[in-house]
Every structure is written in C-alpha cells, then in structure tokens.
Amino acid sequence: MAVCVPSRPPRASVRPLSLVPKAVPPARPVNEEARLAALHSLDILDTAADRRFDRLTALAADLFQVSAALVSLVDENRQWFKSTCNLDAKETSRDISFCGHAILEEKLLVIDDALLDPRFSRNPLVLGAPHIRFYAGAVLRNASMQPLGTLCIIDQAPRTFRRVDRRRLLALAELVEQEIDHHYDVIQLRKLMERLGC
C-alpha cells in the first residue's frame, strides 16, 4: 500500500481564504452549466477520503518529488480536494485556484515559476502558504469530455517540467479518471439496489 510520506518540505497548511493580495481569477468555461451538471452528477463532492485516490496522489508526489499532490474538483465557487498528499486543506476558493485555470486547457497547465506569471504572482497561495512556485495540472474529464478538475502537483521551488514528466502526469490522470468512473458506477449500483429493496 502506498504511503504518503512528506518529500523535501514539511506538510503545508493553507491560510484563510479572506487573505489578500488578490489573484487573477480564472475565467469560466463556455460550457460551465453543463460542466457543473456533469460534476454534480458524480455524487463525489464532499465524500470521505478514499485510499484508491490517496494512493495515486502519494505516487504522484513521490514520482515527481514535489511538495504536494492533489485530486482537485472545480465546483461553482470552490475547488474541493478529493485527495491530497502533504497538504492540510480540503478546499480553496475557486477565485484563487490554479486548477480553475487548468480546466480551461485541453490537457495540461504547467507553471514553472508562479512568481513570474502575472496570473499568479500576487496569488495568496503563492505569497503565503503553501507557497506555490511550481504547478502542473492534468485535466480530468468524464466520458463526455467535460472538464471536472485536475490531478495536480505543486512545489515550493520553481522547476522545469520535461516532456517525459508531462507524459507521466497525463498517464496518472487517466488512472484518476478511471477511479472517478468507478466511484460513479458504485454509486449508481447502490441507488439501483435501494430502489429494488436489496
């Protein structure tokens, strides 16, 4: 069983969401209504920790030797974390989320140094805990290709993300998508059994 062991930095915490300075909030996808409907249909938001997801975030943190790894689902006004490795938070405001920007991409968003990116240089998650300098997020999609969130990795130091790293993160994201599909199938089976009185 994979164990989430802190890499270089200790476990980070996230300061209250009311902090300033202001970040550049992410735009909303043109299909936002359908995207949110797809996300909510999964019945996965605010569910308990699941070791199947936790194994994947632990693997991502270990493979890339980063401060933290997360499965982040982007709701209407927040990003909620189905799984985290080395981050003491369950959600943040969507307005300051990196993943809110990532879901606008086709596959991947990579920020080598957040302090050099005008979208994130004044972000409280950069200037304060967890002190994000590097971010890479692979978009998670459902079968209808709606973007739900990301498998993302963050680090407290800038870094270069190689082509092979991109391939590996995308491959891990596919495994997360499979677990999301499995979660949905289990929920649907339970609902069917309840209707049948099983």
pLDDT digits (tens, 9 = 90+) for 74-116: 999 999 999 999 999 999 999 999 999 999 999 999 999 999 9
What mean pLDDT comes out for the span 111-128? 97
Considering the domain boundaries, does residue 39 fall inside one? yes
Q: Is the pLDDT of residue 3 over 70?
A: no
Predicted confidence at residue 14, as pLDDT, reads 54
Considering the domain boundaries, does residue 191 fall inside one? yes
- Per residue in 37-72, pLDDT (tens digit) is 999 999 999 999 999 999 999 999 999 999 999 999
Q: Which domain CATH number covers 175?
A: 3.30.450.40
Residue 152 near residue 137 (C-beta atoms within 8 A): yes
Number of domain units in the chain: 1
Considering the domain boundaries, does residue 15 fall inside one? no
Q: 131 — alpha (psi -120 to 50), left (phi > 0) or beta?
A: left
Predicted confidence at residue 10, as pLDDT, reads 46
pLDDT band at 6 (very low <50, low <70, confident <90, very high): very low
pTM given for the model: 0.87
pLDDT band at 142 (very low <50, low <70, confident <90, very high): very high
Considering the domain boundaries, does residue 12 fall inside one? no
% the chain with pLDDT above 90: 82
The CA-atom distances, in angstroms, between 171 and each of 2, 13, 105, 146 are 18, 28, 17, 18
pLDDT band at 22 (very low <50, low <70, confident <90, very high): confident
Predicted confidence at residue 9, as pLDDT, reads 46
The residues with which 88 forms a beta bridge, in sequence order, are 13
Considering the domain boundaries, does residue 128 fall inside one? yes
Considering the domain boundaries, does residue 10 fall inside one? no
Considering the domain boundaries, does residue 44 fall inside one? yes
With CA atoms as reference, report the closest residue to 13 among 110, 128, 96: 128
Q: Is the pLDDT of residue 140 over 80?
A: yes
- Per residue in 179-198, pLDDT (tens digit) is 999 999 988 888 888 778 76
Domain enclosing residue 155, as ranges: 25-195
Mean pLDDT over each residue of the chain, to the nearest integer? 91
Considering the domain boundaries, does residue 185 fall inside one? yes
- Burial code (b: 16+ CB inside 10 Å, e: under 16) for 152-184 equals bbbbbeebebeeebeeebeebbebbbebbeebb
